[in-house]
Amino acid sequence: MNDYPINIRAIQHYMYCPRRFGLLEVNDDWAENAFVVSANLMHTHVHDGSHSFNSADGTISRSSLAVYNDSLDIFGITDCVEFVKCKGGVEIEGFEGRYRVKIIEYKPKPPKDGTFHKSDAMQVYAQKICADSMWHCQSEGYIYYTETKRRIKLPFETEGEAYYKELLGYLEKMRGIISRGNIPPRVKGQKCSGCSLSDYCFAKTGRYSVKAEIMAMKGG
Ligand code: SF4
């Protein structure tokens, strides 16, 4: 455990743009645009409880499960976790039998090449790290695209080590930003057209502070 627990969804903000992460985490800025609203609506539906069920083949699906990993000090809410009956699987407290664990993240549509965005995969990987430590398993990660109704398996079995190293790097940099309390500068070439924080980003660089305003008026 350390002083800065990280919400898994913040990893995506950092990967999209470190400045965006800084504005959200250091400045507490938040703004919604069409992309954010549509993603929120989809996740509201996913997390409304209607997706929790037990199927005839013994698979147990649970939406909105909270996951955490104490050693990395990260936490998050999964869209869906499937516990699939499997003799070689692990025991899960509260369920009878043994299970493979699958983490499924819902996204609106795939990138043009039909596979997945690295930041989406990293989000699922961080959830997997949590699931693995909670249930002592080697969980699998998937992205389900609602537009195409297709589920893509993520390459954690073959590329897990590289994902882990990358995740550690992000967490270190993110914690550095939070601990120093600074907002990273805009990076040249950053794609800003889909960013809901552009008004905040271009309009100001520091948090508005009544105390600072009064001190400035007093010349302090
Ligand atoms: S407007 Fe651009 S530079 Fe600013 S936070 Fe958003 S993506 Fe980053």
Q: Identify which of 14, 119, 190, 202 to mutate to test ligand 1's pocket (most ligand atoms within 8 A of the CB).
A: 190
Q: Which domains does the chain have, with CATH numbers?
A: 6-217 (3.90.320)
Q: How many CB atoms lie within 10 A of CB 76?
A: 19
Backbone angles phi, psi at 9, to 5 degrees: -65, -20
Residue 138 buriedness (CB in 10 A; 0-12 / 13-18 / 19+): middle
- Residues 55-98: pLDDT tens digits? 888 899 999 899 999 999 999 999 999 999 999 999 999 899 99
Distance between CA atoms of 122 and 183, rounded to whole angstroms? 23
Task: Give the Å distances, CA to CA, from 112 to 109, 115, 116, 117, 152.
Answer: 9, 8, 9, 10, 14
CA of 201 to the centre of ligand 1 (A): 6
CB 107 near ligand 1, within 6 Å: no
Look at residues 129, 156, 128, 123 and name the one whose alpha carbon lies nearest to residue 43.
Answer: 123
- Rank 161-165, 185-189, 192-196, 202-206 by mean pLDDT and report only the highest: 161-165
Contact in structure between 105 and 142 (CB atoms under 8 Å): yes
Residue 87 three-state SS: strand
Q: Identify which of 35, 192, 193 to mutate to test ligand 1's pocket (most ligand atoms within 8 A of the CB).
A: 192
Query: Residue written as tokens 């070439």?
Result: 189
Joined tokens for residue 137: 């398993």
Q: Identify which of 16, 19, 25, 30 to mutate to test ligand 1's pocket (most ligand atoms within 8 A of the CB).
A: 19
- Residues 137-188: pLDDT tens digits? 999 999 999 999 999 999 999 999 999 999 999 999 999 999 999 899 988 7
Joined tokens for residue 136: 């002592």
- pLDDT, residue 220, reads 47
Q: Is the predicted pLDDT of residue 115 greater than 60, yes or no?
A: yes
Residue nearest to atom 2 of ligand 1 (CA): 192
CA of 159 to the centre of ligand 1 (A): 29
Q: How many CB atoms lie within 10 A of CB 9?
A: 13
Residue nearest to atom 7 of ligand 1 (CA): 192
Backbone angles phi, psi at 218, to 5 degrees: -85, -5
CA of 141 to the centre of ligand 1 (A): 29
Distance between CA atoms of 24 and 64, rounded to whole angstroms? 23
CA of 206 to the centre of ligand 1 (A): 14
CA of 173 to the centre of ligand 1 (A): 17
Look at residues 177, 199, 203 and name the one whose alpha carbon lies nearest to residue 22.
Answer: 177
Share of the chain above pLDDT 70, in %: 80
DSSP 117: -
Joined tokens for residue 220: 């302090």
